[in-house]
A = this chain, B = another copy of it.
Amino acid sequence: MRQQEDLEYADEPKKRGRHRSLEAKTAILKATLQLLERESLRKVTADAIARRAGVSKATIYKWWPNKSMVALDAYLAGTTERVAMPNTGSAQEDFTQQLKSLTAFYTSTLGRLFCQFIAEGQSDAAFLASFRERFLYARRDAAKIMWRRGVDRGEIRSAVDGDIVLDMIYGPIVFRLLAGHGSLSDSESEAIVETVFAGLRRLDYQRPAKNKTIGHIVKRRRAHL
């Protein structure tokens, strides 16, 4: 557990007995990730992390405000995500490939953390904000590159807002990941991207004369979504 020490010797500014804390930090993150591979965030306890890391619980709470934040840090620091960031010359192809690889990862044990972070965020606004800043936006920025390439190339209509583009592509998958309805296979990823690009509209459809009648608000139960 304390093996890494040797590696870090190199550029460590030598303070008297101070490099201990970095070691503890590392051990905590590592232990957290290992535990999260086997249990859900809810079931991983701070005690378990401390025990496994050979660290005091107080040390954990010294640097992190709560368990979720530790998990977020552990995830960000420890996970080298094998996700495609393709550049095929076609934005649609790029997104398709990326969505496939992303889906594959997010259905894996560790990938499920994404859902658990979202879940945790529902009762902890500060955490959700942190999750957005440090996790979500980073990935979205990367994805926006693919989008921009498509726009620059004249492949994607420039009128459409980039955020909407991303949410249209990733939203359906996220929804399915979280709610568990609908499959997450490669062919679904393909179909989603294809439909997002092509649109729902039948091009030869002739819109009838404007019907201004507004749909009446119906008072009924369980009608929407």
Q: Which of A5-13, A46-54, A89-97 contacts B (4 or more CB under 8 A)?
A: A89-97
Contacts of A156 in B (CB 8 A): 200-202
Q: With A115-B122, A122-B178 given, is the CB distance from A97 to B214 under 8 Å?
A: yes
Contacts of A120 in B (CB 8 A): 119
In the complex formed, the residue of B with least CB distance to A192 is B164
Q: Which of A135, A150, A167, A219 has the most CB of B within 10 A?
A: A167
A213-B88 in contact (CB<8A) = yes
A88 to B207, CA, bound (A): 12
Contacts of A220 in B (CB 8 A): 80-81, 85
A222 at the interface (CB under 8 A from B): yes
CB distance from A79 to the nearest CB of B (A): 8
Contacts of A217 in B (CB 8 A): 82, 84, 86, 101
B42-A123 in contact (CB<8A) = yes
B191-A196 in contact (CB<8A) = no
Return the CB mask of A214-225 against B: 1 if under 8 Å, else 0: 111111111111
CB distance from A139 to the nearest CB of B (A): 3
B198-A182 in contact (CB<8A) = no
> In the complex, which range does the number of interface residues on chain A fall in?
35 or more
Contacts of A180 in B (CB 8 A): 121, 128-129, 132
Contacts of A154 in B (CB 8 A): 202, 205
Q: With A43-B123, A155-B202 given, is the CB distance from A98 to B224 under 8 Å?
A: yes
A13 to B184, CA, bound (A): 46
A87 to B213, CA, bound (A): 8
A118 at the interface (CB under 8 A from B): yes
B115-A224 in contact (CB<8A) = no
23 interchain pairs, CB-CB under 8 A: A41-B123, A76-B222, A82-B217, A85-B220, A86-B216, A87-B216, A88-B215, A97-B214, A98-B215, A101-B217, A105-B224, A118-B178, A119-B119, A136-B181, A139-B225, A140-B225, A154-B205, A165-B195, A168-B168, A168-B200, A171-B173, A171-B174, A197-B201
